[in-house]
């Protein structure tokens, strides 16, 4: 995720910016840049692709940039590939306004078109350049040339999330900031003011911070900060003292990255969905899929590894159900060597968080070599898979640090749903009424995920009681089985407890012999037409001594006659239930790992990106 640092004071800004940005490196980035100015002189902008060291080398560790006022940025690409051109800061043509930005501006295309008509030119593919030039436009339109006024007018026009830090040529030794749904804090010490997207960037310099609120504007001068609402009225803010240490600050107060990322799922889901919505309707043109092309696809092959494969299994059920196109889902390590027979009118969809998984990349190459169209659902912009696939559907989960994936998996599910619903609409297997209903259901997913996360203490209590389990089984049918695969993998990865996911109806064909007194069986029952069936399977294991946990939808209270512990998820269109059902399973694994005193974020023998076969 992108990082912002800004400074005004008595020291050379560039070295403070480089130091601050280095404290945000853990968040992941692909390029970096700084804009520094000395008094009323022109701003100097330097950018570099790759590690922060490249920026440091380019500026002789900041010594080449003279000035006590500056803004810096590390970019995690969302709009446009990782490159020096797309790196921040972005600047208006006459250098009147220069800015950095975190977040996603959803209507940037629409704003760009407006600005193009007004004579603006664009050098990058980013939404940030649009935001900077929009502020510049309002700044110049008004005779008063007031940055606060210009920002407030731009904020009314911008849809999406942003933390913006800007410098105006006419206002030396000042930084202006605005934010909505993207974090930003302002720190003050005697004669010095800092701005940062995250606490660790400035913790070394100050512990006194202001939290700039949603839809608020800040004006930073040496040692002071003034805040305004959207009506440009001054507002009072309380200075807060940060008591966390640097390590805790990186995790935004969470004990582990995994827990932080579980909490980031509503945002990952919302951002990914919004990236393919235009005027409230699905639009896959940014992915490169036209309506007629969608209509012609005869077969889909989903290929991935690990959790991404599990997202694909959910995708298989949902795409087949809504779009009525046949889907085959395969492990990339199998696909690449089995000499697959591929329908030339088919589409291979590879799913990968990192975009670098060796088997998935090889499977993609194999498919391409056989002349079949490929689409990658991928999280890391500019990664090998993103570069090589014919079409790209970016998940907007942001960088994932914990080895066990949570938010990237959730974002992958959304990509699969968007494909299912849009394919269904284009192929006329989804009616207008259902299309509207599906979109409404997708839009409320983030709120429902939040609701589940808020109730996490019950799961913590349950997890503590089962932290010493020897084996744990997960059972479900249909989409619930796909969720079980992911729940079981999460548990194995971070708790080191043996676990298996089973299609509930398959148990009696062998595995049920492993059930003994007290074996924990977690059953997932979110699919109405399969509820009674899975419940019967639960009764079967209970009668053989299993200790049963149920995970079902609010209202399915009959399960309490069988299961000793039940977790309910909010009601949801069953096709999308995996997005809710997976959350309690992630929390269960997390709490079991915690109770066993294990390294939640870095489990043994595992790496975040598997670039070897
Ligand atoms: C499990 C996990 C892995 C990855 C798998 C594929 O929590 O993270 O199973 O899902 O290694 O990785 P990507 O998605 O980067 O291709």
- In this structure, what token pair is assigned to residue 273? 């969905």
Catalytically annotated residue among 2, 305, 426, 484: 2
Q: Write the CB contacts of 31 (distance below 8 Å, at least 6 apart in sequence).
A: 47, 48, 49, 50, 74, 75, 77, 82, 83, 84, 86, 87
* Atom 5, ligand 1: residue with shortest CA distance: 306
* Atom 7, ligand 1: residue with shortest CA distance: 404
Q: Which ranges of 397-444 does DSSP label H, i.e. alpha helix?
A: 407-426, 432-443
The best mutation among 262, 353, 378, 492 to test binding of ligand 1, ranked by most ligand atoms within 8 Å of the C-beta, falls on 353
Give the Cα separation of 473 and 515 in Å (integer).
Answer: 9
Q: Active site includes 251?
A: no
Model confidence pLDDT, tens digit, residues 200-245: 899 899 999 998 999 999 999 999 999 999 999 999 999 988 877 7
What interhelical angle do 407-426 and 578-595 show, nearest 10?
A: 170
The best mutation among 268, 303, 305 to test binding of ligand 1, ranked by most ligand atoms within 8 Å of the C-beta, falls on 305
Model confidence pLDDT, tens digit, residues 99-142: 999 998 999 999 999 999 999 999 999 999 999 999 999 999 98
Residue 469 near residue 575 (C-beta atoms within 8 A): no
Q: Active site includes 575?
A: no
Helix (H) or strand (E) holding 541: helix 531-542
Model confidence pLDDT, tens digit, residues 496-515: 999 999 999 999 999 899 99
> From the CA of 405, how far away is ligand 1's center (Å)?
7
- In this structure, what token pair is assigned to residue 251? 């995790």
> From the CA of 307, how far away is ligand 1's center (Å)?
5
Summarize the chain as % helix, strand, coil (round to 5). Answer: 40, 25, 35
The best mutation among 257, 262, 405 to test binding of ligand 1, ranked by most ligand atoms within 8 Å of the C-beta, falls on 405
Q: Write the CB contacts of 562 (distance below 8 Å, at least 6 apart in sequence).
A: 535, 538, 539, 542, 548, 550
Burial (CB < 10 A; 0-12, 13-18, 19+), residue 238, is exposed
Residue 468 is predicted with a pLDDT of 96
- In this structure, what token pair is assigned to residue 115? 């600005």
Identify the structural domains of the chain with CATH numbers, from first to last. Answer: 3-247 (3.60.20.10), 254-453 (3.40.50.10490), 455-597 (3.40.50.10490)
Q: Tell me the sheet residues that pair with 8.
A: 69, 193
* Atom 3, ligand 1: residue with shortest CA distance: 306
Model confidence pLDDT, tens digit, residues 551-607: 999 999 999 999 999 999 999 999 999 999 999 999 999 999 999 999 999 898 887
Is the predicted pLDDT of residue 612 greater than 90, yes or no? no
Pairing of strands 471-476, 520-525: parallel
Residue 1's pLDDT band (cuts 50, 70, 90) = low
Q: Which atom of ligand 1 is nearest to the CA of 400?
A: 8
Q: Specify the DSSP class assigned to residue 213.
A: P
> From the CA of 401, how far away is ligand 1's center (Å)?
12
Is the predicted pLDDT of residue 424 greater than 70, yes or no? yes
CA of residue 71 relative to chain centroid, distance: 25
Q: Which atom of ligand 1 is nearest to the CA of 353?
A: 14
Model confidence pLDDT, tens digit, residues 240-279: 888 777 777 778 889 999 999 999 999 999 999 999 999 9
> Cβ < 6 Å from ligand 1: which residues?
305-308, 352-354, 357, 360, 404-405, 489, 493, 609-610
Closest CA to 310 of 554, 483, 174, 88: 483
Closest CA to 126 of 167, 91, 175, 176: 91
The upper half-sphere exposure of residue 119, i.e. CA atoms within 13 Å in the direction of its Cβ, equals 4
- In this structure, what token pair is assigned to residue 456? 């996490």
> From the CA of 499, how far away is ligand 1's center (Å)?
18
* Atom 9, ligand 1: residue with shortest CA distance: 306
Burial 34-69 (b: 16+ CB within 10 A, else e): bbbbbeeeebbbbbbbebbeebbebbeebeebebbb
Give the Cα separation of 582 and 7 in Å (integer).
Answer: 42
Model confidence pLDDT, tens digit, residues 284-317: 999 999 999 999 999 999 999 999 999 999 999 9
Residue 336 near residue 356 (C-beta atoms within 8 A): no
Q: How far is residue 479 from each of residues 229, 315, 413, 447, 529, measured CA to CA in Å?
A: 46, 9, 12, 21, 11
Higher per-residue confidence, 405 vs 182: 405
């Amino acid at each position: 995720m992108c990082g912002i640092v800004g400074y005004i004071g008595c020291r050379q800004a560039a070295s403070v910016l480089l130091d601050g940005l280095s404290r945000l490196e853990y968040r992941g980035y692909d390029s970096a840049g700084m804009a520094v100015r000395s008094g009323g002189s022109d701003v100097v902008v330097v950018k570099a692709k790759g590690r922060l060291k490249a920026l440091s080398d380019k500026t002789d560790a900041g010594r080449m940039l003279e000035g006590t006022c500056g803004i810096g940025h590390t970019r995690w690409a969302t709009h446009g590939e990782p490159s020096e051109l797309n790196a921040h800061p972005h600047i208006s043509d006459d250098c009147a306004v220069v800015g950095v930005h975190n977040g996603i501006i959803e209507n940037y295309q629409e704003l760009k078109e407006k600005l193009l008509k007004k004579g603006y030119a664009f050098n990058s593919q980013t939404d940030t350049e649009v935001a900077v030039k929009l502020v510049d436009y309002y700044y110049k339109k008004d005779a008063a040339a007031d940055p606060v006024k210009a920002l407030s007018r731009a904020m009314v026009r911008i849809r999406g999330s942003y933390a913006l830090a800007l410098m105006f040529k006419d206002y030396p030794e000042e930084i202006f900031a605005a934010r909505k749904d993207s974090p930003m804090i302002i720190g003050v010490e005697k004669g010095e003011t800092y701005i940062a997207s995250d606490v660790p960037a400035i913790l070394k310099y100050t512990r006194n911070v202001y939290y700039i609120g949603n839809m608020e504007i800040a004006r930073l001068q040496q040692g002071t900060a003034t805040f305004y609402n959207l009506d440009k009225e001054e507002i009072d803010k309380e200075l807060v003292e940060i008591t966390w240490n640097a390590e805790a600050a990186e995790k935004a107060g969470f004990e582990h990255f995994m827990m932080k990322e579980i909490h980031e799922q509503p945002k990952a889901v919302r951002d990914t969905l919004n990236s393919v919505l235009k005027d409230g309707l699905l639009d896959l043109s940014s992915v490169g899929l036209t309506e007629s092309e969608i209509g012609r696809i005869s077969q889909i092959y989903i290929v991935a590894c690990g959790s991404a494969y599990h997202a694909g299994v959910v995708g298989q059920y949902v795409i087949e159900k809504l779009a009525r196109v046949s889907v085959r889902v395969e492990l990339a390590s199998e696909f690449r060597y089995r000499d697959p027979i591929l329908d030339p009118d088919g589409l291979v969809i590879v799913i990968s968080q990192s975009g670098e998984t060796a088997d998935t990349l090889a499977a993609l190459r194999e498919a391409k070599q056989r002349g079949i169209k490929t689409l990658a659902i991928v999280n890391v912009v500019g990664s090998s898979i993103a570069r090589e696939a014919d079409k790209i559907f970016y998940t907007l989960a942001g960088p994932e640090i914990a080895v066990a994936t949570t938010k990237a998996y959730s974002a992958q599910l959304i990509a699969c749903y968007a494909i299912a619903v849009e394919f269904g609409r284009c192929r006329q297997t989804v009616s207008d009424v259902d299309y509207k209903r599906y979109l409404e259901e997708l839009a409320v997913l983030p709120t429902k995920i939040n609701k589940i996360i808020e109730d996490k203490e019950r799961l913590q209590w349950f997890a503590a009681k089962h932290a010493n389990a020897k084996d744990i089984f997960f059972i479900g049918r249909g989409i619930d089985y796909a969720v079980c695969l992911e729940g079981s993998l999460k548990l194995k990865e971070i708790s080191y407890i043996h676990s298996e996911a089973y299609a509930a109806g398959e148990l009696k064909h062998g595995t049920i012999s492993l059930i003994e007194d007290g074996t924990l069986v977690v059953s997932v029952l979110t699919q109405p037409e399969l509820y009674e069936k899975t419940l019967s399977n639960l009764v079967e294991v209970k009668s053989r001594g299993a200790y049963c946990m149920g995970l079902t939808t609010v209202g399915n209270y009959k399960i309490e006659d069988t299961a000793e512990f039940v977790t309910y998820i909010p009601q949801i269109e069953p096709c999308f239930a995996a997005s809710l059902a997976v959350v309690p399973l992630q929390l269960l694994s997390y709490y079991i790992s915690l109770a066993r005193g294990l390294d939640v974020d870095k489990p043994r023998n595992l790496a975040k990106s598997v670039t070897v076969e």
